[in-house]
Chains A and B, each alone.
Chain A
Amino acid sequence: EAGVVQSPRYKIIEKKQPVAFWCNPISGHNTLYWYLQNLGQGPELLIRYENEEAVDDSQLPKDRFSAERLKGVDSTLKIQPAELGDSAVYLCASSPHRGRYNEQFFGPGTRLTVL
């Protein structure tokens, strides 16, 4: 069974440029999460989707971050414009269960470097 797929794996951009990350969850998983992970820290939840509905986005900095999951399958996270402090690993996870604390399956992440 294929795991969670994320692309790109690495991205280097200059500050003020836009950037987008793509995630394809495990087939049949209706819940999808986006996390941000800084070096030496645990993942921090940005947004959670149940199918195509964003049910938990209180941690998403909405002035520059946006996300979509139009058909309830794959998802895109966008940053526009990127800032130096956005350099981090962006993780996507999916789950066959609803809710926050059920087992999640993580992708390998996208490492973003903002210069």
Chain B
Amino acid sequence: DAGITQSPRHKVTETGTPVTLRCHQTENHRYMYWYRQDPGHGLRLIHYSYGVKDTDKGEVSDGYSVSRSKTEDFLLTLESATSSQTSVYFCAIRNGAGVNEQFFGPGTRLTVL
């Protein structure tokens, strides 16, 4: 299994509060991704990183920001959580060599009340 961990695994928060989710990898992979998974929508890309301090937006980036100060860590921040951001969040990594194969973390279930 790819060495990817996510923290926290579960979080309940209130509308308007800031939330930061962490993805940590031990594979030294270049690319890291944040997705959200919702019933009826599948996996949707929020943001991704193609190197330290190099990030770009995905298809559902509004309300989210990311940071990557080290190869191994990719942080996803909800500046002011809303109920529409209740979801399961997955981090994925890719080593960048050849085919775009991504390996996923165990997920974080976030509930915004």
Physical interaction between A and B: no
Question: What residues of chain A have their CB less than 8 Å away from a CB belonging to chain B?
Answer: none
Question: What residues of chain B have their CB less than 8 Å away from a CB belonging to chain A?
Answer: none
